[in-house]
Amino acid sequence: MKYIIKTLPKPQSRPRFSRHGTSVRTYEKSDMKAYKRNVQLQLMISKPKLIDKGPIYVNIVFYVYPPKTVVSSKTKRSKVEQELVYCDKKPDLDNYFKAITDAAEGILYKNDGQIAAISTQKLYSFKPRVELEIDFLNERGELT
């Protein structure tokens, strides 16, 4: 199953803490909540079938808008247009991955603990988006 999420990829933010008397409350920033809600809505529009059990393989490609330095020449610009240039700058790939897999939990799969194998990439593109692909894994770890 393949899904295209038409949004600028956003990395998972650090949790925030606030003190209320003797207790500490953990919360997420409002822009991160809005991003995850946008991802969830786009996924729900495709009416996916929930994978409620078993191991899954997740392949995610993050297409990030390039900075001016990356497209400073015609050659570089052409490679970005073809989506052939890997992004080697911050934010970290694992933070992008965490934001998407947290948002997809309960929509595409029951629990993100089901993710047993992954493949992720971060590329520059003039069309920022996230492409997400999910497949079942059999007992031998092969795609089904």
Whether the Cβ atoms of residue 137 and residue 116 lie closer than 8 Å to each other: yes
In a domain, 118, yes or no: yes
In a domain, 125, yes or no: yes
In a domain, 72, yes or no: yes
In a domain, 142, yes or no: no
In a domain, 143, yes or no: no
Q: Which domain holds residue 12?
A: 2-136
Buried/exposed code over 1-11 (b: 16+ C-beta within 10 A; e: otherwise): eebebeeebbb
What residues contact 78, with CB distance under 8 A and at least 6 apart? none
In a domain, 95, yes or no: yes
76 in the Ramachandran plot: left (φ > 0), alpha (ψ -120 to 50) or beta?
Answer: alpha
Predicted confidence (pLDDT) per residue in 104-119, tens digit: 999 999 999 999 999 9
Q: CATH code at 91?
A: 3.30.1330.70
Report the helix count and the strand count for the chain, using DSSP H and E.
3, 6
Is it the case that residue 14 has pLDDT exceeding 80?
no
In this prediction the pTM is 0.89
Predicted confidence (pLDDT) per residue in 47-105, tens digit: 999 999 999 999 999 999 999 999 999 999 999 999 999 999 999 999 999 999 999 99
In a domain, 14, yes or no: yes
Domains in the chain, number: 1
In a domain, 144, yes or no: no
